[in-house]
Amino acid sequence: MKPLMTTAALSALMLGMAACSQSSDDIAMSDNEDSMSATEAEQTTGTDEMAEDDANMMDADTEMADASTETTYLGSSEISADSLIGAEVIGSDGEKIANVEDLLVDASGQIDSLIFRSGEVIDVAGDKGALAYDQVDLTMNDGEDPRFTVAMSDEAINQVAEFEQEGLNDYRLISEMIGTTADLSGSDDSARIEDVILDSSGRIQYAVVTDPAVMDEMRVIGFDRISVDGSDNSKIMIDATVDELSTMSLFEYQERMNDEDMSTDDMDMTPDSSMESDADMEDDDTTSPK
C-alpha cells in the first residue's frame, strides 16, 4: 500500500504544479495582452494627433491659398490709366482738338494735369501742353474708347503754354511709370508695373504689378508703396518683398464668362436652325416619283 500511496501523492503534486504553471502562463499572457493594448492605444493616440496636426496644416495652407487667389476686378467706377493714353480731347464745338499724351501725378496720388498734343499734326508732332485735370471731363461710354471734353476751341488750346518735361525718367508721368520694372525691397527681385487704376475724380486707387514668381499673374498693390529713389529720379521702388506680393490680391480687368453663363443666343447657330438646315438638304436630294 505504501508504494501506491506514494505514487498517488506524486501524481497529485505534479497536477498541482502543472495547474500553477498554466495559471502563471495565463497571467503572463494576460499581462502581455494588456501591455500590447496599451501600446496600441498609445500608437492610435499618436496617429490621431498626427492626423489632427496634418489637418491643421492643411487648413492653414488652404487659408493662405485662398488669400493669394482672391481676385480684384476693375470696378465700374474705376479707370485704367493706361487706356487714357492716346484718348481724344473734344473741344467746345464737338470736334477733336487734341490727343492725350500723358497724365501727370502729384505727390498725393492725384492726377494733377492732362498732358496733350494739339496743332495741325496732332497725332505725330503736335505742340505739347498741359491742362489742369479738373478742367476736363472724362466720358466712358460702353463699347467706346474713353474721351475727354474741354470748354475750349481749337485756337484756345493752341495758346496753352508748352509743357516741359523735367527728365527722361520723370516717374510723375503715368506713361513712364507703366511698363517700368521696379525693384522690390530687401532683395534683387523686381516686378513690372502694368497699370495704374484711377477713380472718376482722377485719384489713384492702386497699382497693378506682375508677380515675379508667376509671370502671367498680376497683383494689386497700394500706390503709396511705390516710390522714386534717388535725387535724379533714376530708380523706382516697390515697398514689398516677393513673399508679400504673392499674398496680395490677383487682378483681372474683367471677370471671365463661364460656359454656364453662355446662352444659346451667344452661339453662331442654334440646334434648331442646324436641324432645319439638314432637313432642307435631305429634301433637296430626294426626288418624289409621280
Decide if domain 82-157 falls under CATH 2.30.30.240: yes
pLDDT tens-digit readout, 179-226: 999 999 888 899 999 999 999 899 999 999 999 888 889 999 999 999
Comparison of pLDDT for 89 and 270, the residue scoring more: 89
> What is the CB-side half-sphere exposure of residue 242 using CA atoms within 13 A?
8
Predicted confidence at residue 209, as pLDDT, reads 97
Report whether 151 contacts 206 (CB < 8 A).
Answer: no
Residue 200: which residues within 8 A CB-CB, separation 6 or more?
77, 79, 138
The residues with which 251 forms a beta bridge, in sequence order, are 72
pLDDT tens-digit readout, 7-24: 444 454 444 544 444 555
Closest alpha carbon to 109 in 10, 274, 226: 226
Domain boundaries, the chain: 82-157, 174-252
Q: Give the range among 125-134, 206-215, 238-247, 260-269 with minimum mean pLDDT.
A: 260-269
**Same-fold call for 82-157 versus 174-252:** yes
Report whether 114 contacts 129 (CB < 8 A).
Answer: no
Greatest alpha-carbon span in the chain: 152
The three-point CA angle 259-264-269 to 5° equals 115
pTM above 0.85, yes or no: no
pLDDT tens-digit readout, 49-79: 665 666 565 555 545 444 457 999 999 899 9
CATH architecture of the domain formed by 174-252: Roll (2.30)
